[in-house]
Amino acid sequence: MKDADFQQLLASVKEAGRIKRGEQAPARKFEVRAEDVKSIRAKLGKSQSEFALMIGVSVSTLQNWEQGRRQPEGPARALLKVAASNPLAVAAALDPNRVVRPAQAVRKA
């Protein structure tokens, strides 16, 4: 690793520590509102148990998100952000009940 890249990485880690300790505000913050989680699930046409299974969280965690008692964090937040903008892509990748049909061969005339 180049020294300049290492120094930039080190500075980022130190900044993350200051943010975590509350000494510095984050430059940006992504929040997923409770109604967003519920609408994402509705766009996919899933029950709470189906959606929780699909994204790999417990039903109680999903319920806490939907009722605003908790906020999704880390990878779950990122996944929900993708699902909000492209629910079909998330369904294609994660839905265990989705039937994938092979592409039909193109016949030459």
Per-residue pLDDT tens for 35-64? 789 999 998 889 999 999 989 999 999 999
End-to-end CA, the chain: 55
pLDDT tier at 98 (50, 70, 90 boundaries)?
low
Identify residue 53 by its one-letter amino acid code: L
pLDDT confidence of residue 101: 46
Tokens 């994660």 correspond to what residue? Answer: 94
pLDDT tier at 105 (50, 70, 90 boundaries)?
very low
Q: Is the pLDDT of residue 104 over 60?
A: no
pLDDT confidence of residue 62: 95
Measure the CA–CA gap between 7 and 10, rounded to whole angstroms.
5
Tokens 């079909």 correspond to what residue? Answer: 88
